């Protein structure tokens, strides 16, 4: 256990903000391990309602998520940090270019997990150097930690109606990271909710994924559907995805507090020009090796090519561009049933009824996968 005198602890606390800023963080506040109020209960309600979809890892780790002390009993304070990644131009512009794929802003650059974890470790090492004793653990996104309620408890901002953390100084284009420490820092005061009467984020959601303000049903969220969900996307949701091929930013982008948003300070978090509006035809033409090379270092690589092609084919189906029919036809023989299934759906959206009937007659008799057969049957019924 750390044994710093209160006076020294105060000195380290004051220097922490400056060090965090040096490392590229936008803000740094401290929460008490028991500061999350209702979050654990809300997590249980959310899981019981099925809102996590097939993210079984959320339920598997519920006890540790709901209470930081269950994750690490020695924790005395939690240093919460934000890192800005505001887009340089209109985040929703690519949605108006149907032959391009829209990759959400958070994935247009190097994987933030790697970048932020590196910076958290540097800050943690600095902290250990200052205190001369103690232990730290650093977390970003993937650990069983409720980062948004902890950031809100630390006063970095509040959870807006879209459930993400919004800050008066930095809007909502913010990544979160946490350093658990056994140093007993004083906790900062939480921030009030400043959503007021606004509900812009709820209104814009293309899939109506909010059953109520401050609650998200992930099963309808395009971010979940395009990134976390591994299987077929329900037919009634596919048209609502538009050309969003990896994540979704609509509810973040409309938040009025983003007039205070800051752009990414770290070069690794600045958008790659070729990921702002990539051509659907070009993405669909990549083989696995090209996909891996193109998305090296990007979070997109994490979902693998079959799931990414699923998303691209849905966007192709939604494009209304008959010139993209060739890209869909080219995937009717793909090894993955997921890709074949969505290629069929895209053909159904772009080809003439006569062409659809011809495709069904050619392919259905030779298809062995039940879900893909169902896609052919649906196409036959429609044509």
Catalytic positions: 141
Helices (H), 154-206: 200-204
- Binder of residue 298, out of ligand SF4, ligand B12, none (CB less than 5 to 8 A by kind): none
Binding letters toward ligand SF4, positions 174-213, x by CB under 6 A? ---------------------x--xxxx---xxx-x----
- Pairing status of strand 158-159 against strand 244-246: unpaired
Asked if 146 contacts 165 with a C-beta cutoff of 8 angstroms, the reply is: no
Residues between 212 and 231 with contacts to ligand SF4, criterion CB under 6 A:
216, 221-223
Q: What is the x/- site pattern for ligand B12, positions 45-64, by CB under 6 A? A: xx--------x---------
DSSP-derived pairing of the beta strands 165-166 and 158-159 = antiparallel
User: Per CB under 6 A, does 241 bind ligand SF4?
Assistant: no
Please state, in angstroms and rounded to a whole number, the distance separating the CA atoms of residues 305 and 325: 20
String of DSSP letters for 245-313: EE---HHHHT-GGGGG--B--SGGGSPPGGGTS-BHHHHHH--HHHHHHHTTTSGGGGGHHHHHHHHHH
Residue span binding ligand SF4 (CB under 6 A) among the ranges 36-44, 52-60, 244-252, 275-283: 244-252
Binding range to ligand B12, per CB under 6 A, among 138-146, 254-262, 318-326, 329-337: 138-146
Who's near 383: CB < 8 A, 6+ residues apart?
348, 353, 354, 356, 357, 360
Cα distance between residue 339 and residue 309, in whole Å: 6
Binding track over 265-294 against ligand SF4, x by CB under 6 A: ------------------------------
- d(Cα 367, Cα 98) in Å, to the nearest integer? 30
105 binds ligand SF4 (CB under 6 A): no
Binding of ligand B12 by 224 (CB under 6 A)? yes
Q: CA angle, corner 267, sides to 263 and 270, nearest 5?
A: 50
217 binds ligand B12 (CB under 6 A): no
Segment contacting ligand B12 by CB under 6 A, of 4-12, 137-145, 339-347, 362-370? 137-145
Cβ-proximal residue to ligand SF4, closest one: 160
Binding site for ligand SF4 (CB under 6 A): 160-162, 166, 195, 198-201, 205-207, 209, 216, 221-223, 248, 250-251, 254-257
Binding site for ligand B12 (CB under 6 A): 39, 42-43, 45-46, 55, 104, 106, 140-141, 145-149, 159, 162-165, 172, 174-176, 214-216, 218, 221, 223-224, 228, 247-249, 251-252
């Amino acid at each position: 256990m750390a044994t710093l005198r209160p006076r020294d602890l105060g000195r380290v606390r004051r220097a922490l903000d400056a060090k965090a800023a040096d490392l590229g963080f936008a803000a740094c506040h401290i929460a008490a391990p028991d500061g999350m109020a209702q979050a654990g209960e809300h997590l249980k309600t959310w899981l019981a309602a099925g809102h996590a979809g097939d993210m079984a890892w959320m339920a598997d780790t519920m006890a540790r998520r709901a209470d930081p002390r269950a994750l690490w009993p020695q924790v005395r304070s939690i240093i919460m940090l934000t890192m800005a990644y505001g887009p340089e131009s209109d985040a929703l512009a690519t949605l108006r270019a149907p032959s391009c794929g829209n990759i959400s802003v958070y994935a247009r650059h190097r994987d933030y997990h790697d970048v932020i974890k590196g910076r958290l470790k540097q800050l943690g090492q600095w902290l250990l150097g200052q205190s001369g004793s103690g232990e730290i653990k650093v977390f970003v996104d993937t650990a069983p930690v409720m980062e948004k309620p902890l950031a809100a408890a630390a006063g970095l901002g509040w959870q807006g109606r879209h459930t993400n953390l919004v800050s008066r100084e930095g809007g909502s284009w913010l990544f979160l990271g946490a350093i658990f420490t056994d140093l007993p820092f004083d906790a900062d005061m939480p921030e009030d909710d400043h959503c007021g009467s606004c509900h812009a984020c709820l209104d814009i959601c293309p899939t109506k994924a909010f059953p109520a303000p401050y609650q998200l049903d992930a099963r309808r969220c395009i971010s979940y559907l395009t990134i976390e969900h591994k299987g077929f996307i329900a037919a009634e949701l596919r048209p609502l995805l538009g050309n969003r091929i990896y994540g979704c930013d609509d509810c973040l982008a409309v938040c009025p507090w983003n007039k205070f948003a800051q752009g990414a300070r770290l070069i690794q978090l600045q958008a790659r020009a070729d990921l702002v509006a990539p051509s659907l035809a070009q993405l669909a033409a990549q083989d696995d090796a090209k996909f891996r090379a193109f998305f090296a270092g990007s979070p997109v690589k994490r979902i693998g090519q079959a799931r990414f092609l699923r998303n691209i084919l849905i966007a192709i189906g939604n494009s209304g561009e008959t010139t993209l029919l060739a890209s869909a036809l080219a995937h009717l023989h793909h090894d993955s049933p997921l890709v074949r299934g969505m290629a069929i759906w895209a053909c159904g959206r772009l080809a003439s009824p006569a062409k659809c009937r011809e495709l069904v007659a050619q392919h259905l008799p030779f298809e062995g996968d039940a879900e893909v057969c169902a896609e052919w049957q649906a196409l036959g019924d429609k044509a």
